[in-house]
Structure 1
Amino acid sequence: MSQRGFTLIELMVTLVVLAVLIGLAAPNLSQMLRENQAAAELDAFSGMLNYARREAVQGAQTIRLKGPLAVDGSWQLLRERDSLELRRFPPLNSLAVTPAGLQNILFDSQGRLVSAARMALTLTAKDTSLRCAAFNRSVSIELSGSISLQRGSCK
């Protein structure tokens, strides 16, 4: 009599192979999820900077991006002449922006960076959940106001 189906040994071998494949894929999946979250927050940070610059140019006024605030880690967009809050941005949860003492980024009415040191500003965004990650980035703001992202390294 002919029987159809799988034997117990075939089923066990299939399950073992499947378990090994899942074990190999799981660490890569979790790293990919962290990389995507960090990239999304870095894009949000870059968007904050671009938004502040655009507001300065469109309103022909000096705009201050202030943060992270000690209360909740959020960022404020303020009009410089009267400190009116134009917008509040959410905190960066998975990225730490350094230098840590950074509180203010100013753009003048022409969209240029206002820097007391008369030099470009470079910020580093590092993943807070890992000691070293390939997706650390540097955000550079030139005196002209242009913003660029560079792939960073572990330091």
Structure 2
Amino acid sequence: MSQRGFTLIELMVTLVVLAVLIGLAAPNLSQMLRENQAAAEFNAFSGMLNYARREAVQGAQTIRLKGPLAADGSWQLLRERDSVELRRFPALSFFVVSPVELQNILFDSQGRLVSAARVALTLAAKDTSLGCATFNRSVSIELSGSIFLQKGSCQ
């Protein structure tokens, strides 16, 4: 008489193989999740800069991007002539922006940077145990208003 099903040994071998595969995949999965979180937040930050510049050009006005605010770490988009808040962007959870002091980035009505020199920012991972070469990012805003983004380096 034949019986259907698995023997206990077959089930145990299958579970051991599955445990080994999960053990091999878990570190790669957590690394991939951190990289995706970093990329998403970096894209949100660059989108915030581009939004500020576009708002200045479309509204033919000077726009100030101010942050991170001390209270909650968020960033404000303000109309310069009357300091009306046009939009608030959430705080960065993965990166720390340096230089640390409050950033004031102004774009004029033609999308140019209102500054004596280009603005250079570094986004460094808050978790210092992560590889800086993998996660740090550099942002530079030229006087023309062009925004350049690249992977950062260890400092």
The TM-score normalised by the length of structure 1 is 0.90
Letter in 1 for 2:21: L
Aligned twin of 2:59: 59
Letter in 1 for 2:130: C
Conservation of the 8 A alpha-carbon contact between 1:132 and 1:154: no
The structural deviation recorded for 1:46 is 0.6
Which stretches of structure 1, 4 residues or more, deviate above 4 A after TM superposition? Answer: none
**In 1, Cα distance between the equivalents of 2:128 and 2:15?**
33
Conservation of the 8 A alpha-carbon contact between 2:76 and 2:87: yes
Aligned twin of 2:154: 154
Aligned twin of 2:123: 125
Tell whether 2:33 aligns with 1:33: yes
Q: Flag structure 1 segments of 5+ consecutive residues without an equivalent.
A: none
The structural deviation recorded for 1:129 is 2.4
Q: Flag structure 2 segments of 5+ consecutive residues without an equivalent.
A: none
Letter in 1 for 2:124: K
**In 1, Cα distance between the equivalents of 2:123 and 2:149?**
10
2:135 is paired with a residue whose SS is: coil
Aligned twin of 1:44: 44
**In 1, Cα distance between the equivalents of 2:102 and 2:16?**
52
Conservation of the 8 A alpha-carbon contact between 1:67 and 1:103: yes
Aligned twin of 1:19: 19
**In 2, Cα distance between the equivalents of 1:141 and 1:131?**
28
Q: Deviations over 1:74-107 (max 9, x none)?
A: 1000111111111111111111111111421111
The structural deviation recorded for 1:151 is 1.4
**In 1, Cα distance between the equivalents of 2:154 and 2:7?**
51
The TM-score normalised by the length of structure 2 is 0.90
Q: Deviations over 1:97-131 (max 9, x none)?
A: 11111421111111011223x2x222111221243
**In 2, Cα distance between the equivalents of 1:150 and 1:103?**
20
44-53 vs 5-14, which moves further:
5-14
Change over 3 Å in CA distance of 1:130–1:31 after alignment to 2 = farther
Q: Deviations over 1:21-63 (max 9, x none)?
A: 1011111111211111111111111111011101111111111
**In 2, Cα distance between the equivalents of 1:71 and 1:38?**
23
Aligned twin of 1:79: 79
**In 2, Cα distance between the equivalents of 1:16 and 1:47?**
46
Letter in 2 for 1:34: R
What percentage of aligned pairs have identical amino acids? 81
